[in-house]
Structures are given as C-alpha cells and as structure tokens.
Amino acid sequence: MTTEIRAARADEMEKFSSLQRYVFAENDAEGLDAQSPVQPEWTTCAFVDGRIAATMGAFPFRMRLNGAPVDVAGVTAVGTYPEYRRTGLLRQVMEQGMLEQREREQSLAILWASFGAIYQRFGFGLASTWVRYDFDPRQAALEDGSPLAGSVRMLALDEARPIIERIYVEYSRPRTLDVHRAPAYWDSVFRKRPKRERYYAVYFDGGGEPRGYAYYETKWREGGLSNPEPEPNQLMSVPEFVAVDVDAFRGLWEYLRSHDLVARIEMAGVPEDDPARSLMLEPRELRRVTGDGIWLRVVDVGCALPQRPYGDRGELAIAIVDDDLCEWNNGTYLLETNGAESEVTRTDREADISMPARSLASLISGHDSATFLARAGLIEARDEQTLRLADRLFATSYRPHCGTGF
C-alpha cells in the first residue's frame, strides 16, 4: 500500500467532491449537482494506491482580528472514507496542510466543526459561540417603544445588494472573526432559489443613510393552510440580521415583528453580544440556544501574535508547549505592545504564562480570558497579576463572531 499526500489535480476534483458528498450525506438533487467551490491548489489530500482517501480544503480568507485584517486559512471539506479512518491519514493531511498554510503566511486557520472532538486533538481551540433565537414575534416586544427617526424599506435584489455589502464592510471592520466576503460569496447569498423567495430589508436613518439590514424567507408551517384556528400560520427564517447602531437594531426588529401572519421567527448565527436580550421586555421569549461556533488554530505563533491590536500596553513572555502538529510553535515568545503596535521575539526568558496551542487559540481570539482558562486548568501563569495583565492585553472590542458559512 502506497500513500501520497498532495493537492488534488483539476481532473481529480470530482472525486474530491464525491468524498465530501459521502461524508456529509449530501444526497439531495441540488447537492449532487454542486461542484466544490474549493480550487485544486487549496486542497491537501491523501491518496492510497492512487485512490483519494482523505481530504482538506483551505479558502484563502482575510479576517478581522480585533479590527485588524489578517490572512487566514478557512479550513473546509475535511473528510475520510470509513475504511481509511483511524489510520493516521487525516493527521498527515493536517500536518502537510498547516505547513503549506505557514508558507503562504496564513498564521491562523479557522473552521466550522461538524464534530469538535476531531479538531481539538489537532490544536484547534474554541474561538466563538453560535447563537440561535426561535421566538413568537407577538411576545418579543422591546422595552423601548419610542418612535425612531429612520425607517425600514424592503428593497429589490438589485437595489439591495450594493447597500447590504457596504453595511457589512462597516459593521465587520472593528470586529473579530468576521471575514472579507468575496463577490462569489455574495453571489450565493443573492442567487435565485427554486420555490423560495428571499426578501431584503434595509434600515435608513433620519438622514437617509443605510445603517442595518436583514434578509429573510417565509413559508407556511406544516398544516398551516388547513388550520381552522384564527392564528398566525407562517414561519420566518432570518439568516442574517446586521445593525450598525441601536436605532437600526430597533427598527429592523420591529419591522420583522410587524408580519402579523408569522407565528415563529428563527434567527441563526446571532453574535454572542447581540443586544436583543438587554433590549427586550422579556428576554426568555427569545428561547436562546448557544453552541460552539468557530474553532481556531494558531499555525504560526510568532507571526500571529503581532498581527492583532491589544487592549492595553505591556509585555508578556508566552510559552507554547506540546505542539506536536506545528512543532515550530514550541518555545517562549516575548510580546511587547503599546496596544496598537507590537513586537514579538523568541526569548530564553522564563515564561510568565504557558499553554498548549488550543488555549492560545481561545485567548488570541478574545473568546476566553486568561483568568478563565487558568481556572479551567488550560493555562499556567506566574501569578494573579500576570493573569490580569493577560486579560487586559487579549481583550477585544467586540465578542468574536463569524457570520459567514464556508
């Protein structure tokens, strides 16, 4: 048996896609017809006796890290045929893939995990949460019912698209984990869907400036058309709700609530620090569910640390230990920062704080504080003063959140 780890060729991409369809049970007609958006040069695959056995793709993304743009690998299409599982093939693919990401100066890798346990053993740490609301709009009133200077308009696709893209850029600029959306991504958002209509609502402030948007779909719930009861019988799904300021949030929220025939509204991919729970009369009505969001891997510690702005000035000696996948990361790094700019160098100095790679992932994204990680036994620190300094340094202006699927 011979094993080869390499990128797939263009004529092998159908086999690459076939493996993904098998692993993720994409058995519907639309899924069967779809070709993977991953380009051959973005793939790392294991071939056993010439047959594709395990795969990984990595989109070349630009991502915001506490407001700063950084190059990252958006890991996707990770899968192995069952007869090749638990043989170490995926580890070989990951090792080669991360080496190539480092060579491309993608110091961080991010992914959505179908099964988080797979990726923690490869040094990925939880970097954000994913929140969903499922509420009755009649019971979801906001505490402040005062009139707004602006208003919401439903726009046709051609008018909505450039406005929505511009709002997203402004919204995402100061944040963490939001990625730059290429035209191809927006094409997928705005494409026509068979048997489904998508609607686009934009909030304009009192001066006529667009400050927020939501796009959504509606449908009759099961048995809705034949239900003799005098009650709402529609369901509304809201894939994205973006507000640059609180007025835009209030305006869009009340606009969605104004659909009198809607019985339930489901919002997916809500940021952890979304203001709804603080603005509502009864927050329990949101029926909020929280799950794991983005998982992050620090591919190159020395390159990643100086790329993000920090929450304070100071210096910290950070040791990375037991990184057996990206062994070049092991060692101690001296971080010296004034907040906006930083310098990172290798050092022989005794570490102030020590951790495995997956703990640094949660720390550098701002998802978990150093104090929290220390209490969980995932960080070792010199003393409490060191933890407080690390908490200040790694704080982010907004809670990390990625609203882009890939």
- DSSP characters over 240-301: EEEESSHHHHHHHHHHHHT-TTEEEEEEEEE-TT-THHHHBS-GGGG--EEEE-EEEEES-H
Q: What is the pLDDT of residue 127?
A: 97
Residue 33, pLDDT > 80, answer no
Q: What is the pLDDT of residue 222?
A: 74
Residue 164, pLDDT > 70, answer yes
Nearest to 161 by CA among 180, 196, 188, 179: 188
Q: What is the pLDDT of residue 28?
A: 67
Is the pTM value of this prediction over 0.85?
yes
135, β-bridge pairs: 265
Residue 124, pLDDT > 70, answer yes
Q: What is the pLDDT of residue 227?
A: 60
Percent with pLDDT over 70 in the chain = 96
Residue 177, pLDDT > 70, answer yes
Residue 27, pLDDT > 90, answer no
Please state the rounded mean pLDDT for residues 42-54.
Answer: 96
The rounded distance, in Å, linking the Cα atoms of 350 and 34 is: 53
- For the stretch 318-355, pLDDT in tens is 999 999 999 999 999 999 999 999 999 999 999 999 99
Q: What is the pLDDT of residue 37?
A: 87
pLDDT confidence band for 9 (50 / 70 / 90): very high
Q: What is the pLDDT of residue 211?
A: 98
Residue 193, pLDDT > 60, answer yes
Residue 44, pLDDT > 60, answer yes
Residue 31, pLDDT > 60, answer no
Largest CA distance in the chain: 76
Tokens of 98: 């991360």
- For the stretch 250-304, pLDDT in tens is 999 999 999 999 999 999 999 999 999 999 999 999 999 999 999 999 999 999 9
Please state the rounded mean pLDDT for residues 101-107.
Answer: 96
The rounded distance, in Å, linking the Cα atoms of 386 and 161 is: 47
- For the stretch 358-404, pLDDT in tens is 999 999 999 999 999 999 999 999 999 999 999 999 999 999 999 99
Q: What is the pLDDT of residue 212?
A: 98
Residue 7, pLDDT > 60, answer yes
pLDDT confidence band for 30 (50 / 70 / 90): low
All domains of the chain, ordered by start, with CATH?
3-106 (3.40.630.30), 131-291 (3.40.630.30), 301-393 (3.30.1050.10)
pLDDT confidence band for 192 (50 / 70 / 90): confident
CB of 328 within 8 A of CB of 143? no
Amino acid, single-letter form, for residue 317: A
Q: What is the pLDDT of residue 231?
A: 75
pLDDT confidence band for 226 (50 / 70 / 90): low
CB of 57 within 8 A of CB of 77? yes
Using only the alpha carbons of the chain, give its radius of gyration: 23
Q: In whole numbers, what is the pLDDT of the chain averaged over residues?
A: 94
Nearest to 266 by CA among 231, 307, 216: 216
Q: What is the pLDDT of residue 29?
A: 52
